[in-house]
């Protein structure tokens, strides 16, 4: 069995290296305007679901990804939705808390 040898990477120019490091800090979040954020009526009796599973899952994914508490998550998602220019209402803490499996107990 051969021993491990470190890999040497060559950097063509320092400016390209610096640019690559700068791009590493870039954050891009996409919201598909065609995504079902508010589900259509089901025709069943009872209260209609206010937010789609995709909307709740999006919020909880961002919560776990950035390590945010639920209230900060709703504010963060509200700001992202506003920056994108969508007029979606963001779920408040209650539906998120009910679905959050990573909450502190």
d(CA 5, CA 99): 47
Q: How does pLDDT run across 9-45, given as a tens digit for each residue?
A: 776 788 887 887 787 877 788 888 898 888 888 888 8
The predicted pLDDT at position 105 comes to: 47
User: Confidence band (pLDDT; 50, 70, 90) for 1?
Assistant: low
pTM score of the predicted model? 0.66
Is residue 96 packed enough to be buried (19+ CB in 10 Å), middle (13-18) or exposed (0-12)? Answer: buried
The predicted pLDDT at position 46 comes to: 83
- Which residue pairs from 6-13 have beta carbons closer than 8 angstroms and sit at least 24 positions apart in sequence? none
CB 23 within 8 A of CB 6: no
The predicted pLDDT at position 85 comes to: 92
């Amino acid at each position: 069995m051969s021993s491990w040898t470190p890999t040497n990477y060559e950097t063509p120019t320092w400016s390209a290296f610096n640019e690559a490091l700068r791009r590493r800090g870039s954050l891009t979040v996409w919201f598909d305007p065609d995504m079902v954020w508010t589900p259509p009526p089901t025709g069943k009796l009872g209260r209609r679901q206010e937010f789609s599973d995709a909307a709740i899952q999006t919020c909880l994914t961002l919560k776990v990804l950035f390590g945010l508490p639920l209230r900060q998550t709703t504010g963060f998602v509200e700001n992202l939705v506003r920056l994108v220019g969508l007029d979606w209402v963001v779920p408040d803490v209650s539906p998120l808390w009910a679905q959050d499996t990573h909450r502190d107990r």
